[in-house]
Amino acid sequence: MDLSALKKEHRTIFCTQIGGYQVIFRPLTWREHDTYSTIFGMGLISPSKLENQVFREVVLDKALINEMNQTPPGLVPGVVSVVMRLSGNLLRDEGEMNRLNSDIGLMRSGLENNIFEQMILLICRAFPRYTPRDIEDLDFPEVIRLVVLAEKILGLEEPIEIKPKQEKSFTDSLFNDAREADRVDLGPPPNDRLSNVLQNIKEGDGSDREAAMARHLEMIRRMRSRR
């Protein structure tokens, strides 16, 4: 499998070893995670059917999808459990709410301390038609040009200034440089997506701590890739 092509297409991919198989998968988008969490909670569909549907959605190895009925017991639910934990927060209890607040705090700290994120924010304020992802796809000279134009349009009293960075310890970097998980693709409005997914399904092992660590490591990786 061409991992570089997969990363370019999906932005974020994960790999796990379950039952002797190496499984490469993408996380669910925020919309997908919300939809499947709702369906799981309703209890109207066999969990195995729902797990199979999620497995087909996220696993990037088509050969493995074709062989999913011959894989060892526990592989499909194991992968789906990891996917659900990495892709979002179910907010089932106070602990999960606290973890969500922690994730938001990491994102907030990262945005405030990263000049590139501030440049994206500035451009979006001045040019509402741009999304953060649009700006990431521009070449750097065009980004700089838009920053200067944005400063003029918004009438900033103090323009953006790049300052030398102080060296940080590994621990400081771990907690202060992490800025955000992969931006979620909210996609189009729901448009009764819940009903569509339910109809498709009818027809047709990670811990919370490990999932949080994986999300935070992804925050750090993306923060440092901007520098």
Asked whether the CA dihedral 163, 180, 221, 31 is positive or negative, the reply is negative
**Nearest Cα residue to 55 out of 75, 85, 70:** 75
Task: Give the number of other Cβ atoms within 10 Å of residue 151's Cβ.
Answer: 16
Highest mean pLDDT among 133-137, 169-173, 221-225: 133-137
Q: How confident is the model at residue 164 (pLDDT cuts 50, 70, 90)?
A: low
Q: What are residue 59's DSSP bridge partners?
A: 25
Q: Which residue has the higher pLDDT, 24 or 91?
A: 24
When pLDDT is averaged across residues 165-193 and rounded to a whole number, the result is: 45
Q: What is the DSSP string of 66-98?
A: HTGGGSPTTHHHHHHHHHHHHH-----SHHHHH
Q: How confident is the model at residue 56 (pLDDT cuts 50, 70, 90)?
A: very high
